[in-house]
A and B are shown apart, each in its own frame.
Chain A
Amino acid sequence: MEAPMTLQGELDALEADILRMGEIAEHSVGRSVEALLERDVALAQAVIAEDDVIDDLYLSVDRRLLQTLALQTPVAGDLRLISAIIHINAHLERIGDMAVNISKTLLSVRDLPSSPKILSQLQEMGDVVRPMIRTSMEAFSRRDLDLCLKLPKMDDPVDRLNMGMYKEVAALASDPLLLDWGMRMNMIARNLERVGDNAVDIAEQVGFLLTGEFREFTDASHEVAPRG
């Protein structure tokens, strides 16, 4: 017979699962970029298969969030935590999907030529977004507002590289196969930029959890948040 549910017990379990999802998601992003750089088809397929783990966790967390809300009627900090976890759960699932997209893109371009310069830029993007995921997760687990506020600044190079990717790809116009490859790489850059955005969103949620106020750190329409 299972022990009766206590609110604190449930919250602790949900938080533990979110942190685990964060680890797996960050790992998947890293492996998908690695597969891309090494042209490692088996690794890419492994990333795609492992997304099931993230999806299962996502569904489990979602179901238990609903149950906790219905049965325990949390308020105040507990309610903000539930709200934050609802959003973070979705963002991590999205990050997992981005890793799958990157791996699927590799599978479709594995026989095409590549440009080392573009690959190194993508590697650079990957090297920035992975710490972003890690930092936002750590901000959550340590309840650290200062860490949250670091995220927008970490996103700057990712945005810059993503914007620059278009010009780099355009420069490949002379070689049709390379151009084809390059346009897919543009999509991968977009995916990595989305990963970065999701990490910033996670930090926003943690900021809400800690302060009770929701502030957009980065807004497509205008700059809002303080920088670092």
Chain B
Amino acid sequence: MAVTTTDVVRRNLRRQGTDWGGLLFEGALLFALLVSLGFLIILVGQILVQGLALLAERGTSFLTSQSSSLPGRAGVSQALVGSLMLMLFVVATAFPLGIAAAVYLEEYAADTRFNRFITVNVRNLAGVPSIVYGLLGLAIYVKAMSGFTGGASVISGGLTLAILVLPIVVITASEALRAVPQGIREAGYGVGATKWEVVRSHVLPAAAPGILTGTVLSLARAFGETAPLILVGAVTGVFFTGSGSLVEKFQGAYTSLPTIVYTWSKLPQAEFQKLTAAAIVVLLVMLLTVNGAAIWLRNRYERKW
């Protein structure tokens, strides 16, 4: 028979000793967090110290000067332009192709073994090391299609990054499409819409925020790639970009921010170490901006079904 007098109940409800195991576990988790943060802080801190000092000293000339063998005159303008142009190619090619492929896979393709096979392998492609894409780009764009791309040009670099990023775009767009509730499609069919009308008027607009976020994140990933670009011929030395025609600009030498970081970090002069740090700061700022934009977009358009 249960005893329910107040004193007995009070005694039963009181905490029975301290939860040492739980406290220990919590402490271990906290320690892991601090260690990870610690590394990050040390790394970024070092760079910021060096880089900010140089940026303060050189000011905007750092951003507007071209590469040079003289540390006092070297700048990241070509790298910035190069990175931007590469991103342009990624946006122009990977995004439409990737989104269209995702729409087909999610909305139109029947659930056959073959199609499931394709979907699995798209995921595998996303995990392929980026240098392999560099090799692919070298073989196809630089060598085989050199008439169109001009060899080791920003076109080749851009297309290489595009196919690198393509699987990620397909995957994130697929996820966004899958997240659209089936009820909305049924509602569309229910009033007599065709499949295309349902996809165009309801599924895509509903998935747009998710697709947008995913594609912006893949853009950030492409921004930071170095190895494949080096393979397809981004310039790692000093070069001069004059006022050539537009075609020459596209088919000529180019470089990107991560590439120039790589380049400078290998130079012996101590000054170039500071330049490397400064370039990293610029790179980080750009990455944070792009990622921040993705987060802002996601929060702005987040839907509650």
Contact, chains A and B (beta carbon distance below 8 A): no
A residues apposed to B, CB below 8 Å: none
